[in-house]
Structure 1
Amino acid sequence: KTSCSEYRIDCPGKNIGCQWFGSRNEHDEHTKTCLFEKLRPVVDILYKIIENQSLDIEKLKKQIEQQAAELGQQKTEIDQQTAQLEQQKAESIQQNILLDQQKTKLEQQTTELGQQNIPLEQLTTKVRQLNTQVDQQNTQFEQQKTESIQQKIQLDQQKTQLEQQTAELGQQKTEIELEKTQIEQLKAQLQQQQIQISDIQSENQTQKNETASIRKQITILQEEINKLKSTALWLCK
């Protein structure tokens, strides 16, 4: 294929649109006259431009996606801020209503005070009394707060003591378990020793019985010997 002159091959400009297909002998002549090959430098430049533009488009696409995500996040934040503003607006309206109510109440109280013709000194005295009561209540609150803090400190101390006692009890429990295990081991050893002692006592009793039987037999033999001696002496006479 690489050396055959009649082997048919494509034009080098096939990738840019040339549809020529002929023998290897005609290849060089066609290449010299091929319009696509003459336009190749320009086409290569255009392809390079298209490739660069494609890369730029991909970058822009990623930037647009990132900006879209940021815009979505900003929109969410704006919606949250709008909701907060609406809530604040509703709270402001409610506060205005309360202020109006308080204003109306103050006006009513002022009217009532004007109708009662209470002297200014009495009002001042009454305000001072109220302030004194408020101060007393604040003092009581501070005392209660101090007592609560002290009680909390005492509770923490008691908690620490309980934790220490719990740890000590746990340690004592462990020691008791160890002692219990040792006692069980000693008990097992004592039982084994008792069994051995019982076996020894049984052996001793057996030996005693055997000794008594032997002594009895010896006594019988001695009696027979004595009888034989007596008989022998009698015969000798």
Structure 2
Amino acid sequence: MEGINVKLVDNMGTDFRIFEAAKATLGGGTESNFKEGETDPTRLIKFLANERHVTPFRHPQVTFECEAPISIARQLGKHQAGFSWNERSMRYRDSVIDVFTPDMFRGRPTHLHDGSTEEDVSKEVAIDLDQFGTVSVEEIYSQAIKAAVTSYEVLVNAGLAPEQARFVLPQGMVTRWIWTGSLYGWFEVYRQRSSGHSQYEVREFARQLDGIMSELYPIAWEALKDTIK
């Protein structure tokens, strides 16, 4: 999805790192008789996941380069314990402004706790100008974005400091950050943000995360996902 992306930077450890961490009481690493490629860690990893022994899953580390609208990034940023997050600053440099446009403009639900409906309201009339015609939801959204970005550029060109000019930019502006966390930390992000109660755009982030993590840690990731009720 344009404007919401998760890109792998690097990672430390494999499924076997979890096995080694759990077996540390036997000497661990080079002192044990368990060798990667010779010992199958699947049974132990599944046991650890099912019994909620989470500390071994915190040893593998993964770093991602992420991008999302500011409002989505702020939801994701609530996951802080055990994570490191460094985000692009609009204070120290002038940047090209990218603003997120949804794939579909979803309807307002009866109960706001539900987030949105599956109804596409992009062509619904937002303003009726009588003999001059109508303006749709999609058109208002587009015009608001253009006005905000243009205002920012005008203010910066007029000499206003970017750290203040940025206040006029919308929550839909796409931000980028480097995010590092443990395997278990990423599982918690996925578990909470893939829920049907999460906003669609947040679930898209979780979907991309799932695809990458399932390739990096096929045994552990599947074992952890199996614990989701």
State the TM-score bracket (shorter-chain normalisation): under 0.3
**Structure with higher RCO (Cα < 8 A, 6+ apart):** 2
The two structures have a TM-score, normalised by structure 1, of 0.18
Q: Which one has a larger percent helix, Structure 1 or Structure 2?
A: 1
Structure (1/2) with the larger strand percentage: 2
TM-score, normalising length: structure 2: 0.19
